[in-house]
Amino acid sequence: MSVTRRTGWFLAAASVVATVAYGFACAPASKQAAGTIGAADAASKVYVAPGQKDEFYAFLSGGFSGQVGVYGLPSGRLLKIVPVFSQFPENGYGYSEETKPMLETSFGNIPWDDLHHTALSQTNGEDDGRWLFVNANNTPRIGRVNLATFETEEILQIPNSGGNHGSPFITSNTEYTIASTRFSLPIPQADVPIADYKKAFKGTISFVKASEPGKMDVAFQLLVPGYDYDLARAGKGPSKDWMFFTSYNSEQAYEKLEVNASKADKDFIAAVNWKSLEACATAGKGELWPANYAHNVMDEFTRVATTEFKKQVRVLTPASCPNSIYFLPTPKSPHGADVDPSGEYIVAGGKLATVIPVHSFAKIQKAIADKAFETAVDGIPVLKYDAILAGEVKDPGLGPLHTEFDGKGYAYTSLFISSEVVKWKLGTWEIVDRAPTYYSIGHLMIPGGATTKPSGKYLVAMNKITKDRYLPTGPELAQSAQLYDISGEKMKLLLDFPTVGEPHYANAILASKVQAIQKKFYSIADNKHPMATKSEPETGVSRSGKVVHVRMTAIRSHFSPDNIEGVQVGDTVLFHITNLEQDWDIPHGFAIQGATNAELLIMPGETRTLKWVPKALGVYPMYCTDFCSALHQEMQGYVRVSPVGSSVPLMANTVKAQGQAARAEKFKH
């Protein structure tokens, strides 16, 4: 479905609702609140002694930072920030010429997005530690982070979507990662009055092929009624061919949603049989619609990202693929839809509901077979609530949002308004414990809590309000997560830890699964970057019109060349720097005075390019920004910039540009 290829330079609810919005609970900050244990006991449970390592990697979405924070659990220590949808000056992501295409979209190069949810790749319903998928909310996209390198290697834009909130949840063998549109839109986009919402606006649910790196693609989209689609989960076990999507605004309001989208007693979970849709798509059902969406891939060997614009997408409708989607009535403005480890129970978090409804997959199947339909919406059968209900958790608290599972028969639901986690028993629906959060929890996460094999040891609460938990830092306070011990009967609060950006969802995985696959450096022999320089004699400078290419190497503790002359004001200077090190954790950095982008951080064996356009004559220092050796401070050099038309020859150290080709040839090995 690809047509054009773009490359870089070298290749390139009235009162209730008001309570939701403003009425977060302010629990008293007592010395030892309910649900906590003695400080010494708590400390010993999160203490990771010097030289010891954490048991879990936790990947917390960075919200409006557009990045992912990687933390160790139980310590809560920040290990790394992985930039995905935002530029990151710390390592040059989105600034270097090789990584700029990663942020390319049909709207142009976008330096920021809002990253909400994470999903680890799965094999047979278990986290396998290969990849982390993340969503961009504002400009709909899904990114893939390789957990061998902790780098973003692929980003796919999602067409026909506005607000990619229900994403990137994943099927149990990583067949598909999904994307549902929060905002319904005229699809395809059109100039229509907003008041025509009910008639002209639609939602989409997209299934993105995820199993092969570098080959993400929208396999098919399902056109659905113009509601707001919120969150989703794949089934597992008996329900593994299904995906469950919450929706709200079945009222189809387009103004003052806080009132107008909160009127109906029930909205819907859309139960979608993706196997059935897949069969329809394979059979050529539906239509191919014109589209324009970017697919950005970082090549494994050149380490250069390229952008391909895809021009078509297969669109299915409920009518073109019958028996593939059903609506499950669910009270009230549901937010989370979570599936228990057995795959039988689908738990909804109705933001405005007074119960936590739990649907039964077996009953859903029976209701479909029996045609126990209440009605139909746009040809989509609405199943009878009583026919599919497994049970309701009564009086859970206010504002149930999300549920995770411990694999021991219990579920844990976050309650935003009453600011707590409730623990309840699957099957009997009785509440067995409550623990306050500080404050106003959104998502919660148990390592493996969304899989068939949760680790019932810890629970992380990701809170929306911090208030008095940390030293104040001006008008914006630290973002906050909290760690609970859930290994016993009662939840115990162990630790507060601040996070980078606003954490929405997160995943955590046993560290051993990710440690085992770590890449220590990129092989210099395998470096296929077109401007790679694999030895110092091959370094040098060359001019092509107003463009000066500098082929440079970095190794402890010098750049080669370290003196460049003959650059002129207004030239575009491209520093292609290859890090010749072949050892773990020896990146070199590169910065030059007056560069208007970022530094570069170049991993061992990798080539990265910084673009610099000097605006005034003079001599400009450059240096390594990453402390690399005892003589790191000596790792420096100069670039002389002369006026336009100057007779100063282009030289790398004392070697003139013209002599370099022959020199490089002589030393080539």
Q: Minimum Å distance from CB 602 to Cu ion?
A: 9
Q: Which stretch binds Cu ion (CB under 5 A): 243-251, 345-353, 367-375, 630-638?
A: 630-638
Instruction: Pick the binder of Cu ion from 628, 650, 651, 652 (CB under 5 A).
Output: 628
3-state secondary structure of 200: helix
Q: Which stretch binds Cu ion (CB under 5 A): 73-81, 196-204, 522-530, 628-636?
A: 628-636
Conformational region of residue 51, where left means phi above 0, alpha means psi within -120 to 50, and beta covers everything else: left
Please check whether residue 476 is in contact with residue 74, taking contact to mean a CB–CB distance below 8 angstroms. no
* Smaller CB separation from Cu ion, 471 or 630: 630
Give, as one character, the DSSP assignment of residue 9.
S
- 555 touches Cu ion by CB under 5 A: no
- Sequence-ordered list of residues with C-beta below 8 angstroms from that of 626, at least 6 positions apart, any chain: 587, 588, 589, 601, 632
- 635 touches Cu ion by CB under 5 A: yes
Give, as one character, the DSSP assignment of residue 332.
S
CA pair distance 615, 171, nearest whole angstrom = 52
Strands 217-224 and 305-316: parallel
Q: Which stretch binds Cu ion (CB under 5 A): 154-162, 369-377, 624-632, 649-657?
A: 624-632
> Which two tokens mark 397?
């608290």
Q: Minimum Å distance from CB 234 to Cu ion?
A: 45
Q: Minimum Å distance from CB 555 to Cu ion?
A: 8
* Smaller CB separation from Cu ion, 335 or 576: 576
**HEC per residue, 283-345:** CCCCEEEEEEEEEEEECCCCCCEEEEEEEEEEEECCCCCCCCEEEEEEECCEEEEEECCCCCE
DSSP 369-380: HTT-EEEEETTE
**HEC per residue, 525-587:** CCCCCCCCCCCHHHCEEEEECCEEEEEEEEECCEEECCEEEEEECCCEEEEEEEECCCCCCCC
* Smaller CB separation from Cu ion, 624 or 657: 624
Please check whether residue 503 is in contact with residue 462, taking contact to mean a CB–CB distance below 8 angstroms. yes
Q: Minimum Å distance from CB 607 to Cu ion?
A: 15
Q: Minimum Å distance from CB 151 to Cu ion?
A: 20
Residues numbered 226 to 285 that lie near Cu ion (CB under 5 A) are: none
CA pair distance 344, 358, nearest whole angstrom = 10
Q: Minimum Å distance from CB 631 to Cu ion?
A: 9
Residues numbered 283 to 302 that lie near Cu ion (CB under 5 A) are: none
* Smaller CB separation from Cu ion, 316 or 603: 603
Longest CA–CA separation in the chain, Å:
88
* Smaller CB separation from Cu ion, 25 or 628: 628
CA pair distance 297, 294, nearest whole angstrom = 10
CA pair distance 652, 664, nearest whole angstrom = 13
How far lies 226's CA from each of 249, 262, 277, 379, in Å?
Answer: 9, 15, 20, 13
* Smaller CB separation from Cu ion, 387 or 602: 602
Q: Minimum Å distance from CB 97 to Cu ion?
A: 20
* Smaller CB separation from Cu ion, 64 or 521: 521
CA pair distance 328, 324, nearest whole angstrom = 13
Give, as one character, the DSSP assignment of residue 649.
P
Q: Minimum Å distance from CB 625 to Cu ion?
A: 8
Q: Minimum Å distance from CB 225 to Cu ion?
A: 57
* Smaller CB separation from Cu ion, 464 or 588: 588
* Smaller CB separation from Cu ion, 344 or 581: 581
Residues numbered 570 to 609 that lie near Cu ion (CB under 5 A) are: 588
* Smaller CB separation from Cu ion, 309 or 559: 559
Sequence length of the chain is: 669
Give, as one character, the DSSP assignment of residue 466.
-
CA pair distance 469, 36, nearest whole angstrom = 15
* Smaller CB separation from Cu ion, 187 or 564: 564
Q: Minimum Å distance from CB 650 to Cu ion?
A: 25
Q: Which stretch binds Cu ion (CB under 5 A): 75-83, 184-192, 397-405, 625-633?
A: 625-633
Q: Minimum Å distance from CB 561 to Cu ion?
A: 15
Q: Which stretch binds Cu ion (CB under 5 A): 72-80, 184-192, 296-304, 619-627?
A: 619-627
Q: Which stretch binds Cu ion (CB under 5 A): 333-341, 488-496, 635-643, 657-665?
A: 635-643
* Smaller CB separation from Cu ion, 298 or 635: 635
Q: Minimum Å distance from CB 73 to Cu ion?
A: 32
Q: Minimum Å distance from CB 95 to Cu ion?
A: 19
* Smaller CB separation from Cu ion, 240 or 588: 588
Q: Minimum Å distance from CB 556 to Cu ion?
A: 6
Please check whether residue 656 is in contact with residue 649, taking contact to mean a CB–CB distance below 8 angstroms. yes
CA pair distance 519, 523, nearest whole angstrom = 10
Residue 257 dihedral angles phi and psi, to the nearest 5°? -60, -30
Residues numbered 506 to 525 that lie near Cu ion (CB under 5 A) are: none
CA pair distance 319, 47, nearest whole angstrom = 57
Q: Name the strand (E) or helix (H) holding 365.
A: helix 361-369
Q: Which stretch binds Cu ion (CB under 5 A): 19-27, 109-117, 153-161, 626-634?
A: 626-634
Using only C-alpha atoms, the chain has a radius of gyration, in whole angstroms, of 27
CA pair distance 126, 174, nearest whole angstrom = 10
**Other Cβ atoms within 10 Å of 58 Cβ, number:** 28
Nearest to 356 by CA among 334, 339, 326: 334
* Smaller CB separation from Cu ion, 516 or 630: 630
Please check whether residue 156 is in contact with residue 142, taking contact to mean a CB–CB distance below 8 angstroms. yes
* Smaller CB separation from Cu ion, 295 or 588: 588
**Other Cβ atoms within 10 Å of 19 Cβ, number:** 15
Contact map string, positions 76 to 115, toward Cu ion, x by CB under 5 A: ----------------------------------------
Q: Which amino acid is at 612?
A: W
Q: Minimum Å distance from CB 604 to Cu ion?
A: 11
Number of H helices, E strands in the chain: 9, 47
Q: Minimum Å distance from CB 611 to Cu ion?
A: 21
* Smaller CB separation from Cu ion, 346 or 628: 628
* Smaller CB separation from Cu ion, 447 or 637: 637
Q: Minimum Å distance from CB 600 to Cu ion?
A: 11
Q: Which stretch binds Cu ion (CB under 5 A): 8-16, 47-55, 562-570, 621-629?
A: 621-629
Instruction: Pick the binder of Cu ion from 316, 450, 624, 657 (CB under 5 A).
Output: 624
Sign of the dihedral defined by the CA atoms of residues 185, 190, 195, 196, in that order: negative
Q: Which stretch binds Cu ion (CB under 5 A): 11-19, 263-271, 298-306, 620-628?
A: 620-628
Site size with Cu ion, rule: CB under 5 A: 4
Binding region for Cu ion (CB under 5 A): 588, 624, 628, 635
